[in-house]
A and B are shown apart, each in its own frame.
Chain A
Amino acid sequence: MQTLSNRRGLGFWLQLGFTLLVCALLTVPMVMSMLAGLTANYFVGLKSGLTLRWVEEVLRVYSGTILLSLQIAFACLACTLVLGVPTAYALARRPGRIARLVEELLMMPVAIPGLATALALIVTYGGVGDLRSSWLFILIGHVLFTLPFMVRAVLAVMGSIDLTTLEEGAASLGAGFLRRFATVVLPNCRSGILAGSLMVLTLSVGEFNLTWLLHTPLTKTLPVGLADSYASLRIEIGSAYTLVFFLMIVPSLILLQGLSKRGRPSV
Chain B
Amino acid sequence: MPDSFHLDAVPIRLERCGKTFAGSARALEPLDLTIRGGETIVFLGPSGCGKTTTLRIIAGLESPDPGGRVLFGEEDVTALPIERRNVGMVFQSYALFPNMTVAENVAYGLKVRKLPRPERARRVEEMLDLMHLGEFAGRRIDQLSGGQRQRVALARALVVRPRVLLLDEPLTALDAKLRDSLRLEIDRLLRGLGITAVYVTHDQGEAMALGDRIVVMAKGRVAQIGTPREIYYQPADGFVADFIGTMNRLGGTVRGGMLNIGTASLPWSGADGAVELLVRPEDLALASEDDGHLGGSVAAAVFLGDRTRLVVEPTDGPALTVDTLGRSELGRGDRVWLRVDPARVLAVP
Contacts and interface: CB of A to CB of B under 8 A. Distances in A.
Contacts of B113: 174
A265 interface: yes
B91 A174 contact: no
Given A165-B95, A188-B98, A266-B142, A175 B108 contact: yes
B302 interface: no
B88 A184 contact: no
Contacts of B83: 171-176
B88 A172 contact: yes
Nearest to B97: A184
B109 A267 contact: no
Contacts of A265: 98-99
A169 B91 contact: yes
Contacts of B96: 169
B99 A173 contact: no
A21 interface: no
B174 interface: no
Contacts of B98: 161, 188, 265-267
A170 B93 contact: no
A172 B82 contact: yes
Contact of A166 (B81, B84, B89, B95): B95
Given A165-B91, A179-B112, A171 B82 contact: yes
A165 B160 contact: no
B87 interface: yes
B79 interface: no
A124 B32 CA distance: 61
Interface string A173-197: 1111001000110011010000000
Interface in A177-228: 179, 183-184, 187-188, 190
Interface string A153-177: 0000000011001101111111110
A177 to B, nearest CB: 9
Nearest to A184: B97
Given A184-B97, A187-B99, A188-B98, A175 B112 contact: yes
Residue from A161, A190, A266 with most neighbouring chain B CB atoms (10 Å): A266
A173 B156 contact: yes
B233 to A, nearest CB: 36
Contacts of A161: 98
Interface in A253-267: 265-267
A168 B82 contact: yes
A266 B97 contact: no
A122 B61 CA distance: 48
B157 interface: yes
B101 interface: no
Interface in A51-91: none
Interface residues of A, number: 22
Contact of B61 (A168, A176, A184, A267): A168
Contacts of B61: 168, 171
Given A265-B98, A265-B99, A172 B157 contact: yes
A183 B113 CA distance: 14
Contact of B93 (A162, A174, A175, A190): A162
Interface residues of B, number: 27
Nearest to B166: A172
A169 B91 CA distance: 8
Interface in B89-119: 89, 91, 93-99, 108-109, 112-113
A166 B91 CA distance: 10
A173 B142 contact: no
A165 B98 CA distance: 12
Contact of A169 (B86, B97, B99, B160): B97
A266 B139 CA distance: 13
A267 B95 contact: no
Given A162-B95, A165-B93, A267-B98, A173 B140 contact: no
Residue from A161, A183, A190 with most neighbouring chain B CB atoms (10 Å): A183
B118 to A, nearest CB: 20
A160 B156 CA distance: 24
A83 B240 CA distance: 54
Contacts of B142: 266-267
B59 interface: yes
B267 to A, nearest CB: 56
A168 B96 CA distance: 10
Interface in B133-169: 140, 142, 156-157, 160
Contacts of A184: 97, 99
Nearest to A187: B99
A175 B160 CA distance: 12
A243 B108 CA distance: 49
Contacts of B160: 173-174
Residue from A168, A171, A187 with most neighbouring chain B CB atoms (10 Å): A171
A168 B142 CA distance: 20
B341 to A, nearest CB: 48
Nearest to B98: A265
The 7 lowest CB-CB distance pairs between A and B, nearest first, are A169-B95, A173-B109, A172-B89, A187-B99, A174-B112, A165-B95, A266-B142
10 contacts: A165-B95, A170-B97, A171-B61, A173-B156, A174-B84, A183-B108, A188-B97, A265-B99, A266-B140, A267-B98
Given A175-B108, A267-B98, 9 more contacts: A165-B93, A168-B61, A171-B83, A173-B112, A174-B84, A174-B113, A175-B83, A176-B83, A188-B97
